[in-house]
Every structure is written in C-alpha cells, then in structure tokens.
A and B are shown apart, each in its own frame.
Chain A
Amino acid sequence: AAGVIQSPRHLIKEKRETATLKCYPIPRHDTVYWYQQGPGQDPQFLISFYEKMQSDKGSIPDRFSAQQFSDYHSELNMSSLELGDSALYFCASSLGTGGEQFFGPGTRLTVL
C-alpha cells in the first residue's frame, strides 16, 4: 500500500539559510500533520492542515511556515535556520478528522 512520501530524506544547511520540506500524503488522505523529533526525544507537533486550511498549530517557530496545496501535498518552509533546528521532521496524514495518523519516513535536517 502507498505510504506517506517525504522529500528530501536528508538535508544539510548552514545557519541562517532556508529549507523547504515536502510531504505527499497517502492517496485520498486530506489531513496533514508536521512533527519535529529532536535526538532522543518524542515527536513534537508543529502544525496541521485539513482540506488546505490550517487546522491546528503547536510549538512552531515564527520562522517556520507551512501550507497545503490543492493536491493535498504540504510544504514546510523554514527560514533563518538555527543549530537547534537540527532534527527529524515527520509528516503524517489521515483521512478526514477521525482517522489514524500514518507517518512518513522523515526528513533529517542538519544545520551546521
């Protein structure tokens, strides 16, 4: 079965640079969630979208923004990167607002 696709899988950036992470949900899933997982930590919720509208917002820095497009894929834009932004970034998708969340393989961001 098709799963959540994330790209790129690995990304290395310098401080103060920008990064764009992409997420392609499971076909027919209309809800996307972004999570950040630091080393040895549990995933922390950043933001979610349902039917292309922001549905919830967590501990997402103002330097980050995200959107969901008409084909339901989502992009997380990160600017003025800091060393502390180095983490695994996961995207999850669900069908509507009542379903299980299925996670992608993650994007490993390293900020040097």
Chain B
Amino acid sequence: QKEVEQDPGPLSVPEGAIVSLNCTYSNSAFQYFMWYRQYSRKGPELLMYTYSSGNKEDGRFTAQVDKSSKYISLFIRDSQPSDSATYLCAMSAGGGNKLTFGTGTQLKVEL
C-alpha cells in the first residue's frame, strides 16, 4: 500500500464548477503538505504549501489539511479550461525532506 493515496480520475467538470481534490496518507510523521499542478510533459508547478493542520487560501485555490484524519484537500473555485492538468499532492516529514507524492488526479475542465 502506498503511503499517499490519491484518486487518479480522470475528473471532468464544466467551466465555473468547484473542484475538490483529495489525498489520504498513512505516515503520521508528515508535517508539510503541498499541491502541485503538472501539465503534460512539464515540470510540477507548486500551487499550495501548508504546514500542519488548517486552511490556506490563495486566489481561487484553498488547501485544507486534517492531520487527525490524515486527509488533505484542494478546492478550486470558478474552474477554468486552463486548470485542466494533473494535480499531485505531496508531503514531507520535514521542511527540507524528500517529497512523497500521490499518483495525481487528472482534471479536465470543459467549456
């Protein structure tokens, strides 16, 4: 069983919809939680970076971390076709430690 589980999708939504992406994890040592967006054949782009439990908002993106449930989420409001990409959750035990990724969720936002 992988340390980080993520529904691979694909997830297809209409433009303007609210998208919810989720990951669960088993390693209680994870303290730092990230969401990356990856377009096909490109490098992962950091979207959100959070420490421990709580919420963080940045524009149309909101990240939530629930350490008690070992569950993290990324919400995208007013989704746009340009949001179509693969979204990877990632986490680490320390600030400078290696990242452990989820398998990624493929999102398609349709006109």
Binding site for B on A (CB under 8 A): 4, 31, 33, 35, 41-45, 48, 50, 55-56, 58, 88, 90, 92, 94, 96-106, 108
Contacts and interface: CB of A to CB of B under 8 A. Distances in A.
Nearest to A98: B95
Interface string B91-111: 000111111111110000000
B97 A99 contact: no
B34 interface: yes
A33 to B, nearest CB: 7
Nearest to A94: B96
B102 A42 contact: yes
Interface residues of B, number: 21
Contacts of A102: 46
B43 interface: yes
B96 A31 contact: yes
A112 to B, nearest CB: 19
Contact of B104 (A4, A31, A42, A101): A42
Given A41-B103, A42-B103, A104 B43 contact: yes
B41 A97 contact: no
A92 to B, nearest CB: 8
